[in-house]
Each structure stands twice: as C-alpha cells, then as structure tokens.
Amino acid sequence: MTSITHHTIRANGIRQHYLEAGSGPPVVLLHGFPETSYAWRYQIPPLSRQYRVIAPDLRGYGETDKPVSGYDKRTMAQDLVALLDALGIDRIALVGHDRGARVATRFAKDHPGRLDRLVVMDNVPTRIVARSMNAQVARAYWFFLFHLVPDLPEALIAGREDIWLRHFFSDWCFNPHAISGADFDAYVAAYKAPGAVRGAMADYRANQEDTAQDLVDADVKISCPVLSLWGADFGAVGKTFDMAAVWAEMASDLRTAAIPRCGHLPHEEQPEEVNQLLLDFLAGWEK
C-alpha cells in the first residue's frame, strides 16, 4: 500500500502544499485546470514504487496560497524551483498537464540544468493558441476568453461551482461520467474554498504575459527528452491541432502519443495506458 503524505512549506513567498510518496529519483507532477494535485491519484502509487513522487498544488489552486499576483508562468516555475531548493532537490523529471504543462515548459526553458526529462499532457502552448486564433479555435477556447473578464466569472460561479465544473468534466472527457461521485465532489470542495476560483482565473489572466515571455525564446527548443501525449478525442487539442508538429516546434528530442477513447484528462480517463507510457519514458532516470 502506497503511503501518500501531505506537506506544506513556505517557498518563493507563498505557502505551498504538496503530496509526496516513494523514494528514489524525484519525479514532479504538475496538475492542470480544473484540477488540483488530487488529479494524480492514479499515477502516484505506481510511480512511487521506483521514484520519489512530488505533486504540488500550483499557486492559486488546492491547498496552496492564492495571492493576487504572480501567475505568469515564469513566476510559477520559480515556485517550483523554490520548492525543490527547500527540499534539497537539484534535478527532476517533470510531468505537467494543461496549465501545469505551461509551468513545466517555462521551467524547462528557464532552468534547463535542473531537468532531466519532460512530459507534457494534452497541452498546446499558449503562444501557439494565440497565434492560431480564429473562429474555430475561439469556439474551442471560449473559456480562455471568458476567464479573462475581470470579476464577472467569480461572481457568476460563486455558489455554482458544481455546475461550472460539471460542464468541463463532462464536455472534456470522452466518457462524460469519467469524473463523478467522490472524485467530482473532491474537486467541487476544492473550488468552493475562498479564493480558489479567483486563483484559477488569475492563472488564465496571465495569458498575455505568458505569451510575451514565450515569444522571447520561441526559437529556443527544449533540449531534454520530451514526451507529448494527448487525448485523441478532445476537440480543443488533438482534433484541432497537429500535436506532433506543435511539439516538434518546441522540442528537439521528442516522442509523441495520442491516446484513443480519451479527452482532455488522459491521466484520469485512461490511467493504465498513461502510467505505462510514463514508466517507459522515465526508465533510465537516475538522480
């Protein structure tokens, strides 16, 4: 039985909450929206048999602090650097989904010496979404635009967190009931916490600053090995973008995998297939 422990630590000026299990070479898991570190419940047990697994709640999410600023991905990557420093960890293998993949990508470019290999799940980099914006993309990424509006999303979502989250989990999963019962309730509880919706909105409201950061080093490819995987059936990613081409633009040492019968949450929708892909890709990672 895997023992998953909860921890909090003050790093980069905020109180960060993270899950930890196992021992060995460190593997960090960064969740996306609309999730928290709870998203990795299917990955932590098998990975922790060989690795020291650390799954933080990102700034603004879960049990981590939700300050009013600092949601650009450079600062959020620095959150991870500070966490690693506090834990005495130098190099990691890094797995990021969705928003967490954006943080992970910025970490890879800003701190390449601290990264051995990188996994990005169901993510189109922000600058490529912006570059590709047209009517079709805008329909798929409507929430990018809605979440940018100051204050209004928070006002409309307050007290209706379950309706808001139910839309995303049903619409974004191949099986609309994939996230249900106690799992759905756990996410609703997380987003009912004071500041939680505002924190998630702040993450999206940093898109313009994130794009500006990404344009500066757009020609610099990630040099470590990269695995990009995505749900083959998600309209906003695999069905809208040529994901192999997108990530070939981002990384020089690339593997790709499209997961069938899967939407935006591969790690929750098809955990066994994702876990095997992760274990195969992580093989050989030694600190």
- Both tokens of 54, joined, read 């650390």
224 touches 116 (CB < 8 A)? yes
- Both tokens of 46, joined, read 């098998």
Out of 17, 31, 97, 264, the active site residue is 264
Peptide bond into 26 cis (omega under 30): no
Cβ-based neighbour number of residue 246 at 10 Å:
21
Residue (of 111, 113, 133) closest to 211 by Cα position: 133
Consecutive H or E run containing 153: helix 152-157
- Both tokens of 137, joined, read 């993309």
Hunting for tokens 């990005």 — which residue is that? Answer: 120
98 is catalytic: yes
Residue type, 136: Q
Cβ-based neighbour number of residue 233 at 10 Å:
19
Consecutive H or E run containing 277: helix 271-282
- Both tokens of 102, joined, read 């954006």
204 is catalytic: yes
Out of 79, 98, 122, 214, the active site residue is 98
Out of 204, 210, 214, 233, the active site residue is 204
In angstroms and rounded to an integer, the radius of gyration of the C-alpha atoms of the chain is 17
71 is catalytic: no
37 touches 55 (CB < 8 A)? yes
What positions carry a catalytic annotation?
98, 204, 264
